[in-house]
Structure 1
């Protein structure tokens, strides 16, 4: 179903602004049709169109309209912030189509920002350890990935990295490798111009970004295979 995504409705962001102002289940139910037509259904179309385009590009990422989207409802059970609704809507496309896999594509449409990411996000201890070992054991390979990303206009995000070297990596002295092994995640991001979300051209933009981020996917997948 190529080109199924035609763009988000012109009222998508205004809806999020109004929802954030009201933060009311009653208001949401009264305006559910607007949410569905302007935001939710287009997001479902986005996921399915990206799935088709990613398959054509051999990216190994997929999703569907039922499993890929995160709920707009917030989980407030363990939070002091009891506002019932998020200020954004987001989705994940992954190798198996679930949200539990690693090496994923993430897209976020929200009030503060709209962006996409390709990520190994919070990999489990075994995989994270394997990634850190690979950085030290094969620095040329890792630097090649970083160089390819840089040439494509992308950089690894250093958000939430450890302040000190993890155990077993204290002797890593080369600055770029010492920084890399402190990462908890391996992520590249792409800012989306909010003005472009109302057009099907958003698909081409996101496919282009994911192709540019493919070296990160390939690097992690090679390590993931050896870590199983």
Structure 2
């Protein structure tokens, strides 16, 4: 049954450390109850609590305990790294509640870092092209979105930008627009203090972050409508 998020258990991160050390199905099965009580169960509650809060805030993002979480098991079929388990647990809340949509909220609790993001991540070619065209043809709207993000203490992530302008955009002169056009995705991130994951206050922190990132969601959704209609 769903429950209000009260925080991850005190052994959530230690469990991930131990799992990463053992990396065996036998150890995981022996400690499955600890995984469920300290990490997986609370994560399910977090997703459903956020879904309720996002609905109340009219953010257009939702999820549930069955569809939103990524498996802790790694897909090793095409990887040289054959370790069977991830070092983190993560989930996506999206407009339709699946992992296949664009314009999403992502939350990640792991050994290296804990963070959240709002993203248009690797959008389909037609949507990415529409976003790039919108940056050039409606620069004021793009700059207003960037300015709103900055007021919330956020900025677009530069990770994964192309080194050169994509075809058809070579003549864009304004540096801020030229950089944005080289983006393959549009993302803002929020670092989570690992010490805060054991409290229900994490929900307020993540809702505040997502409200601050709403201009990015709105900007992309407006463009997405034109890309689908084209």
Q: Could you tell me which residue of structure 2 aligns to residue 93 of structure 1?
A: 93
Say whether the 8 Å CA contact 1:2–1:52 is kept in structure 2: no
Q: Unaligned regions of 5+ residues in structure 2, if any?
A: none
Q: Could you tell me which residue of structure 1 aligns to residue 78 of structure 2?
A: 78
Say whether the 8 Å CA contact 1:8–1:39 is kept in structure 2: yes
Deviation at 1:173, TM superposition (A): 1.2
Provide the secondary structure at the position in 2 that maps to 1:79.
Answer: coil
Kindly provide the CA deviation profile for residues 124-180 of structure 1, in whole angstroms up to 9, marking residues without a partner as x.
Answer: 000000000000000011000001101110000010110100000000111000000
Q: Could you tell me which residue of structure 2 aligns to residue 219 of structure 1?
A: 219
Is 2:200 the partner of 1:196? Answer: no
Kindly provide the CA deviation profile for residues 65-102 of structure 1, in whole angstroms up to 9, marking residues without a partner as x.
Answer: 00000000000000000000000000000000000000
Q: Could you tell me which residue of structure 1 aligns to residue 152 of structure 2?
A: 152
Is 2:10 the partner of 1:13? Answer: no
Deviation at 1:2, TM superposition (A): 9.8
**TM-score using structure 2 length:** 0.98
**TM-score using structure 1 length:** 0.99
- What is the RMSD of the two structures over their aligned residues, measured on CA atoms? 1.1
Count matched residues: 228
Question: Whole-Å Cα distance in 2 between the matches of residues 152 and 181 of structure 1?
Answer: 23
Q: Could you tell me which residue of structure 2 aligns to residue 118 of structure 1?
A: 118
Say whether the 8 Å CA contact 1:102–1:120 is kept in structure 2: yes
Question: Whole-Å Cα distance in 1 between the matches of residues 104 and 151 of structure 2?
Answer: 21
Q: Could you tell me which residue of structure 2 aligns to residue 44 of structure 1?
A: 44
Say whether the 8 Å CA contact 1:3–1:200 is kept in structure 2: no
Say whether the 8 Å CA contact 2:12–2:38 is kept in structure 1: yes
- Report matched runs for 1:136-215 at 5 Å: 136-215=136-215
Q: Unaligned regions of 5+ residues in structure 1, if any?
A: none
